[in-house]
């Protein structure tokens, strides 16, 4: 009998504590101390049992990539020492209506069923463009851009294919970097990957735009690209 009383008392106490904790978290949510979409593990513990939050808490939030969630794709992944947060990715699986659709190819693809072709006078790929505020975080180690590219033979020459990163404000582009993709000694007939770190220290204002894209200067060459990606890297907690 005594054992049953003790178990019942513990159950009642735990139930009261958990209900109280749940009510408190509802109060936190109503007062913007639990974000409806951008919460992270760090943000949760920074606000745990708190009745007020600091500016550092807002910096620990991460923008949700709803397009990847809608398609059932991972928004985060880990390597041996870091957490990678995919900010934006073009995998060219969503084929648009209109004239641009002819540049979406199912002949060669890296990750899924389609890639994007640069050929003829069509020299620029679609660009990923985000506001600097989305990637300038005090907690991130760095932000990187990457892309996969494919060409069929050895005819790719120096300064014919570039990976472009630019920063722009209302008055125009003030930072421009074009990486010659032949400098990584890509191999024909297979997918090659280029990854580069963004120089976020050169951003003038968090309202500025960051853009990444591929530029082909050889109209006679077919270049296939896939998985154009912008991601932030964080140390594991």
In a shared domain, residues 124 and 218: yes
Q: How many CB atoms lie within 10 A of CB 190?
A: 9
Last residue within a domain, chosen from 36, 59, 82 = 59
Tell me how far CA of residue 130 lies from CA of 33, 109, 127, 185, in angstroms. Answer: 26, 25, 10, 29
In a shared domain, residues 191 and 108: yes
Query: Is the pTM of the predicted complex or chain greater than 0.85?
Result: no
Could you identify the residue written with the tokens 């708190």? 50
In a shared domain, residues 87 and 145: yes
In a shared domain, residues 100 and 11: no
Q: Which of 123, 134, 125, 119 is nearest to 91 (CA)?
A: 125
- What's the confidence (pLDDT) of residue 75? 61
Helices (H), 71-225: none
In a shared domain, residues 73 and 133: yes
Q: pLDDT digits over 118-156, tens only?
A: 998 899 999 999 999 888 865 677 899 999 999 988 778
In a shared domain, residues 90 and 206: yes
In a shared domain, residues 54 and 71: no
- What's the confidence (pLDDT) of residue 237? 62
> Distance between CA 214 and CA 53 in Å, rounded?
42
In a shared domain, residues 134 and 84: yes
Into how many domains does the chain fold? 2
- What's the confidence (pLDDT) of residue 67? 57
- What's the confidence (pLDDT) of residue 141? 78
* 39 token code pair: 């919460």
Contacts 24+ apart (CB under 8 A), 20-24: 24/49
- What's the confidence (pLDDT) of residue 156? 80
In a shared domain, residues 88 and 189: yes
- What's the confidence (pLDDT) of residue 193? 92
> Distance between CA 111 and CA 71 in Å, rounded?
14
- What's the confidence (pLDDT) of residue 165? 96
CATH of the domain at 227: 2.60.120.260
Last residue within a domain, chosen from 11, 34, 59 = 59
Three-state secondary structure call for residue 156: coil
In a shared domain, residues 24 and 54: yes
Contacts of residue 236, defined as CB under 8 A and 6 or more positions apart, other chains included, come to: 78, 81, 82, 83
Report phi then psi at 119, rounded to 5. -160, 160
**11: enclosing H helix or E strand:** helix 2-30
Last residue within a domain, chosen from 59, 76, 96 = 59
* 228 token code pair: 């154009």
Q: How many CB atoms lie within 10 A of CB 177?
A: 16
> Distance between CA 154 and CA 86 in Å, rounded?
32
Q: Name the residue range of residue 34's domain.
A: 2-59
Low-confidence ranges of the chain (pLDDT < 70): 55, 59, 62-78, 137-139, 237
């Amino acid at each position: 009998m005594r054992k049953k009383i003790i178990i019942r008392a513990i159950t009642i106490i735990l139930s009261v504590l958990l209900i109280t904790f749940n009510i408190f978290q509802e109060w936190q949510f109503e007062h913007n101390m639990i974000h409806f979409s951008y919460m992270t593990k760090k943000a949760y513990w920074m606000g745990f049992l708190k009745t007020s939050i600091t500016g550092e808490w807002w910096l620990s939030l991460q923008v949700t990539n709803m397009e990847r969630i809608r398609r059932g794709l991972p928004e985060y992944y880990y390597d041996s020492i870091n957490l990678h947060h995919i900010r934006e990715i073009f995998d060219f699986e969503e084929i648009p209506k209109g004239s641009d659709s002819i540049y979406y190819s199912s002949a060669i693809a890296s990750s899924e069923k389609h890639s994007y072709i640069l050929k003829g006078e069509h020299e620029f790929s679609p660009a990923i463009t985000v506001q600097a505020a989305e990637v300038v975080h005090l907690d991130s180690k760095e932000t990187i851009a990457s892309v996969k590219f494919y060409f069929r033979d050895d005819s790719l020459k120096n300064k014919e294919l570039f990976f472009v990163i630019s920063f722009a404000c209302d008055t125009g582009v003030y930072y421009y970097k074009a990486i010659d993709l032949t400098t990584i000694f890509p191999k024909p007939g297979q997918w090659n990957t280029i990854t580069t770190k963004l120089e976020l220290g050169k951003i003038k204002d968090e309202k500025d735009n960051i853009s990444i894209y591929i530029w082909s200067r050889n109209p006679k060459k077919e270049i296939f690209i896939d998985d154009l990606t912008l991601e932030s890297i964080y140390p594991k907690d």
